[in-house]
Amino acid sequence: MEKLDINPKKVITKVKNQTGNNPDIIAKEMKLNDTDISVLFCESVSDGITINDFILEYLQEIKMHDVSFNDIFKYLESNLPTHKITKINNYKDLYYNLFSGFTLIIISGSDNAISIETKAKLDSGIVETKNEKVMKGPRDGFTENYQTNIGLIRKRIKSKSLRLQEHIIGSKSNTKVGIIYMDNIASKKLVDEVSNKIKNIKIDGIFDSNYIIETISENKRSSFPIYISTERPDLVNIHLLDGRIAIIVENTPYVIIIPALFFDFFQSSEDFYQKNINVNFTKIIRFIALIITIVLPAIYIAISTYNLEAIPTNLLISFSTQRQGVPLPTVVEILMMMIVFEVLKETDTRAPSAIGSSLTIVGTLVLGQAAVAAGIVSPITIIVVATTSVSGLISYSVDIINGMRWWRLIFIVLASFAGLYGVFMAGLFFVIYLSSIKSFGIPYLTPIAPFFLKDQNSVLFLTNKRKFNLRNHLTAKNNIERQDKNYEKN
């Protein structure tokens, strides 16, 4: 790495030239005891008030009072009124600090520069979570500010065992990536593996946490996620105490949790804040919705096209009456209406909030009613597609919803060729596929396949034993018992 020049003017000239004389890079030159010093900062990412009140004003007072000192570098390093001062000696660190909102003091005769944190507040601030709504529990969410996100985790786990490793990734973006875990609970082997993979990422820019996870993931072609992406600090803390690892990426309001298993996507942090009997009923509803969203359209196609004997006579007559005059095959009806629903959902997501919801509601009602009135689709098809689509929104994770959408299509295709036999075949493929996935060395369907009896109280049902006494023995490698009398408090 190229070392800094001992002449401040040469340093400023080089920085100006290499950055194309950007107007937001400000350099102020002055003298202290006949020593040339330069104050360098990037105006767009720095707080001007902090620079004026705590750096420039302080240096001006020293100049006015003609304070004498033997070593100006050591004097400023010791007496500048700021909580965070670092020393840099090369241009790579200079540029990283400069564009991270730090102010640099370059002193003549010294090959080191003083870096002072003067970051401007450029994030949206701590606000209520938007996508992971809860009726009971904390409502604060992660922001784009890296230090704030770490603070939201630390304020819930005030323990000396909470560890943070930091890496700078991206040759152009220089994005800070943090790995957080509980030292006395998490697997040291997994922590080292993840840390090494992140350090070895070679890319010019990191702009979202998914850049990291997609790079270090073993199952890049999997339609289901092997990580949890969340905006809820309380959910991250619950998983940290279960032995998992959190990855925080600068400028991203989502935190990644690894490893993640299939059944993790059908529970919420709110489950731990309510009575178990109510939570267990809700979890059963979620799994029923999962089956409905994947299988219902395929079963409807199978029984209405191939397996008519599976329908009671009265219901068969009702189906036939509703489909009378409809020119399209059942599978075409289903696919067409599902595409329409996906278009409406995407419109609702991308349209401005003021018109998005109303546009989607009106579009759904008008298009559905018009399609039935025109005889293009039957009313039962509208019911099947609507039930399937609503059930598909049961999970908060967009990644798991998209994965289910692909498998719903596979079920439909096989059902259209082989009826119920095709549905059973697709179900077999589905189970085999999920069983073949591993999330950082852990089988995706754990604890169902492979079957672990002692972990069943956290899959379909939640018990006080899982809630207050035991951690997941697959992710927590130490201190499995949460209320062990011999367990160190911190």
Q: What is the DSSP string of 31-45?
A: EETTEEEEEEEETTT
Is 255 in contact with 248 (CB distance < 8 Å)?
yes
- List the Cα angle 240/241/247 in 5-degree steps: 5
Token code pair at residue 261: 């298993």
pLDDT at residue 360, as a whole number:
63
In contact, 32 and 70? CB cutoff 8 Å: no
Name the residue with tokens 């490698």: 477
Instruction: Return d(Cα 274, Cα 95) in angstroms, integer.
Output: 50
Q: Which two tokens stand for residue 433?
A: 């596929």
Q: What is the mean pLDDT of residues 257-263?
A: 90
The pLDDT assigned to 314 comes to 80
DSSP alpha helix (H) spans, 31-172? 48-51, 57-64, 72-79, 91-98, 146-154
pLDDT band at 248 (very low <50, low <70, confident <90, very high): very high
Higher pLDDT, 356 or 21: 21
The type of residue at 342 is: E
Quick: pLDDT tens for 188-210.
Answer: 999 999 999 999 988 888 888 88
Buried b (16+ CB within 10 A) or exposed e, 197-222: ebeeeeeeebeebbbbbebbbeeeeb
Beta-strand ranges (E) seen in 84-161 are 85-88, 102-107, 113-117
Segment 162-178, tens digit of pLDDT:
999 999 998 888 899 99
- Reduced to 3 states (helix: H, G, I; strand: E, B; else coil), residue 185 is coil
Q: Are 99 and 91 in contact (CB under 8 A)?
A: no
What pLDDT is stored for residue 291 in this prediction?
Answer: 92
User: Any idea how long the chain is?
Assistant: 490
The pLDDT tens digits of the residues spanning 348-358 come to: 777 666 555 65
Contact 62, 75 (CB under 8 A): no
CB 259 within 8 Å of CB 269? no
Is the separation of the CB atoms in 8 and 108 below 8 Å?
yes
Q: For residue 370, give both structure tokens.
A: 């018009």
Amino acid at position 287, single letter? F
Distances (CA, A) of 349 to 264, 405, 416: 25, 17, 31
Pair of tokens at residue 436: 């073949």
* Rounded Cα–Cα distance for residues 449 and 435 (Å): 7
Position 293 scores a pLDDT of 92
Kindly state the DSSP code that residue 4 receives in the 8-state scheme. Answer: P
pLDDT average, residue stretch 116-134: 80
Round to whole Å and give the CA distance between 325 and 318: 14
Q: Output the pLDDT for position 57.
A: 87
DSSP assignment, residue 186?
S
Q: Does residue 115 carry a pLDDT above 80? A: yes
CB atoms within 10 A of CB 101: 19
Query: pLDDT averaged over the chain?
Result: 84
Chain segment 101-114, per-residue pLDDT in tens: 899 999 888 888 99
φ/ψ (deg, to 5) at 385: -65, -40
Q: 293 and 421 in contact (C-beta within 8 Å)?
A: no
Beta strands in 438-488 (DSSP E): 438-439, 442-443
List of residues 6+ apart from 476 with CB closer than 8 A: 185, 186, 242, 243
Domain ranges of the chain: 8-117, 146-260, 274-443
Q: Which residue has the tokens 């875990």?
A: 181
- Identify which has the larger pLDDT, 262 or 460: 262
Phi, psi of 228, rounded to the nearest 5 degrees: -105, 125
